[in-house]
Chains A and B, each alone.
Chain A
C-alpha cells in the first residue's frame, strides 16, 4: 500500500496558528480530564480513608494487567450537569486487559456523592453494557454505590433505558454466554443489589462490602427490626448463609487477585479473523494533526492529511480517487487491522453519496471494518441537486451504512451537522465506539444558521403583529439564541450528555481506534444483508 504524500508545510503561518490554537484547547481538555479523574473535595477523600476503602483508580490498578492500556469512556460525562459536581457521572467505564483478555469495566466512583446513581450515571453504565453486548466482552463490575440519587429518581428509574436497563443488559449478557463478575467493595442497596446477584461470580470484601434490598434504616422504618450492616448483608452472612455471595475477600488486594484468578480461568473464544498486516507506526507524526485542524471550523482541510497521521505507515489505498471527490474512501491498516475508511472532504453530493454506499457494500462483502471521519456540514441543497435526487442518494447511503454488518467506528473530527451525521454513522447508527475531537461541533445545523432561523421565526411573528423591529431589537433577539446554540453544539456538551464515548486528544485517536477494533473482534461478523435501496 502506498504512503500518502503530505503537502503540509510545518513552517507555514497557518500551520503554526492552528497548532497554537489546538494546543491551547488541549491544555484545557487535559486539565478538565485530570480534574474529573483525580480532583475531589478533601472531605470525600477523608471519608473513603475512614471507611478503609481504596479509590476507584487504585482499584482499577489492582485489577488490570500492569502496563496495558485502558480505553476509558466518557471521562467528562455530566461535566455540564449538576453544577459540575458529579465528575464522570460518578462512575468509571472502559475496556481494559485482565489476564491478557479484553474486558468491559463498570466501576462506581465512591469519591463522588458516595457513588450515587444520577441520570447520567445510568446512561453511562447502560452504554458500557451495550458495548459489552455488541462486542461480546466479559464484564467486571466494581460495586460501591449509595444507590439512586433520590431527588432525581425520575431520571434514574422509570424509563426504558434507565435503571432497569442495567439489569436487563446483565440478563442479556448472561443469556448470550458472556461472563460477568462483580467485586463488592461498598454497599449494593436496593436495585444495586442485582448487579452482583445477576453476575456469574461475585466477591464481597469483608467489612466494607454488603448487599441488601433494604439497608438497616429502611428495615427499621418498614418493620421495626433493628439489624446491623454485617448481619443484614455482609460478606460472611452472604457467602456462608444466603449463597448470595460467592467469595469473601479479607482485603481489597485479596478481592482483586481473586477477581483476576476467576477472569483468567474463563473460556477464551477465538477472535474473528480479518485481514491484517504487520504493525507499523504512522510515517507522519500524529501530533502534526494539531497544525492541520484549522482553528476556524469553517475552513476546509484535506482529510488525507489527517489519515496520514492516523493509519499504519501513513499508507492509504484510495478507492475511486477521481469520483465524488468530497467523499474520500479507501483502505488502510490501524494497529495492523485492515479497515475501510470514509472521510469527508466537503459536502455530500449525489456522486459522493453513491460512492460511499458502494464502498460500504464492498467492505461488508469482504468483512472489512469501517471507520468514519466526520467533517460534514450536510448533503447539498438546492433545485439542481433535488432534481438529481439527492434525498434518494442520501437514502441509499443510509441504507448501506445502517445495514452494514461489519463493526463501525466513528471519529467526529470537526463538523457534524444535520443528516450528514446520519450518513457518516452518528450516535444513532451503532458505531462500536464514537469519539469527538475537542474543537468539533454537533448539531442539526451550524450555530449562525440556527440562530438566524430561530430569530427569523420570532421576527416574522412580531411583524405579523404589526411591529417593526430596529437592527438593535433584531440583534437582541438573535444574540442570546446564538450564544446558547454555540454552547449546545460544543464537544463538551456532547460528551457531558454521552452522545459520544469521550473526547480525544487527536494524537490519541489511532490508539483509541486500535483498541476499539481489537475489542470488536470478540464478536462474530454476520453475512451481509440489506434493506431496499431506492435506486
Chain B
C-alpha cells in the first residue's frame, strides 16, 4: 500500500520506479516499462509503454493530476495511505469519563437519564487555572454524574458514567 491512485474514481495501487535505464510502473499485476518525454507544447508529453505511443497533456494540481489523452480527460487523484488508514484503529468510545487530573467541578450540564450525543458537553472542570469541558465519548444515556458543582475530585475519579450500550 505505498500509494493509492484514483483514476476517474476507481482505485488502483501502483508505484513508479526506475530500473536503472528507464521508468517502470509496478502494479499488482506486474511491471510495465514506460517512458515519458516532453514534446515542447505546454504540458505536452509523449508516452511510450507496451509498444504503444500516445500523445498526452498533463495538468498537475495539489490533490490530483489531469491527463488529456485520446480526446478524453482522466482525473488521477492521489490518496495518502496514512490518511486513508488512519482512524481504523479508533474502536468504540468508553462508557466512562475519567478525571485526567485532580480538580474541582465548575458546572454540570446533564443529569442521569439524559440522552446525549457524542461530543456533547457533560461537565466543566477546573484544575491548575484551566477550565476544561469534558464531552460525551459516544452517543448514549447518562447513568451517573457522581460529582456536583463545587465538588473536588481526585486523579482517575469517574466524573461521568454512561449506561452500557445494548447490543
A residues with a Cβ closer than 8 A to B are 2-3, 280, 296, 298-300, 313, 346-347, 349, 377-378, 380-382, 384, 415, 417, 445-446, 448-449
Contacts and interface: CB of A to CB of B under 8 A. Distances in A.
A449 B83 contact: no
Interface in B111-131: 126-131
Nearest to A448: B129
A3 B80 CA distance: 10
A2 B80 contact: yes
B101 A347 contact: yes
B82 A446 contact: no
Contact of B132 (A300, A380, A381): A300
B84 to A, nearest CB: 10
14 contacts: A3-B83, A280-B62, A299-B131, A300-B133, A313-B62, A346-B100, A347-B128, A347-B130, A380-B128, A381-B128, A384-B155, A417-B129, A446-B129, A448-B129
Contact of A2 (B83, B126, B130): B83
A380 B103 CA distance: 11
Given A300-B132, A384-B155, A347 B127 contact: yes
Contact of A377 (B80, B129, B155): B129
B2 to A, nearest CB: 16
Nearest to B82: A2
Nearest to B132: A300
B82 A377 contact: no
B102 interface: yes
Interface string B123-146: 000111111110000000000000
B102 A346 contact: no
10 interchain residue pairs of minimum CB distance = A377-B129, A300-B132, A347-B128, A446-B129, A298-B131, A377-B128, A2-B83, A299-B131, A377-B130, A300-B130
A449 B130 CA distance: 12
B86 interface: yes
Contact of A346 (B62, B82, B132): B132
B128 A2 contact: no
Nearest to B83: A2
Contacts of B129: 298, 377-378, 415, 417, 445-446, 448-449
A11 to B, nearest CB: 15
B131 to A, nearest CB: 5
A296 B133 CA distance: 13
Nearest to A280: B62
Given A300-B130, A300-B131, A347-B128, A380 B80 contact: no
Interface string B53-65: 0000000001000
B101 A298 contact: no
Which of A3, A299, A313, A449: most chain B CB closer than 10 A? A299
- Count chain A CB atoms within 10 A of each CB in B62, B80, B130 and give the residue with the most: B130
Given A349-B101, A382-B102, A298 B126 contact: yes
Nearest to B125: A300
B136 to A, nearest CB: 14
Interface in B150-166: 155
Nearest to B126: A298
B137 to A, nearest CB: 15
A63 to B, nearest CB: 38
Contacts of A3: 83
A280 B63 CA distance: 13
Given A377-B128, A380-B101, A381-B128, 8 more contacts: A298-B130, A300-B133, A346-B130, A346-B132, A347-B127, A382-B102, A384-B102, A417-B129
Interface string B77-93: 00010110010000000
Nearest to A375: B130
A382 B103 CA distance: 11
Nearest to A7: B119
Most buried by A among B62, B82, B128, B131: B128
Contacts of A346: 100, 130, 132
A2 B86 CA distance: 10
A25 B86 CA distance: 39
Nearest to B119: A7
A299 to B, nearest CB: 5
Contacts of B101: 347, 349, 380
A445 B128 CA distance: 10
A280 B131 CA distance: 35
A340 B9 CA distance: 36
Contacts of B100: 346
Contacts of B102: 382, 384
Contacts of A445: 129
A492 B101 CA distance: 33
Contacts of B62: 280, 313
A259 B35 CA distance: 54
Interface string B96-107: 000011100000
Contacts of A446: 129
A280 B128 CA distance: 37
Nearest to B86: A2
Interface in B32-48: none
Contacts of B127: 347
A68 B58 CA distance: 34
Nearest to A378: B128
A48 B100 CA distance: 62
Contacts of A380: 101, 128
A296 B126 CA distance: 13
B101 to A, nearest CB: 6
B12 to A, nearest CB: 21
Contacts of A296: 131
A69 B35 CA distance: 44
A377 B153 CA distance: 19
B161 to A, nearest CB: 22
B69 to A, nearest CB: 26
Nearest to A349: B101
A376 to B, nearest CB: 9
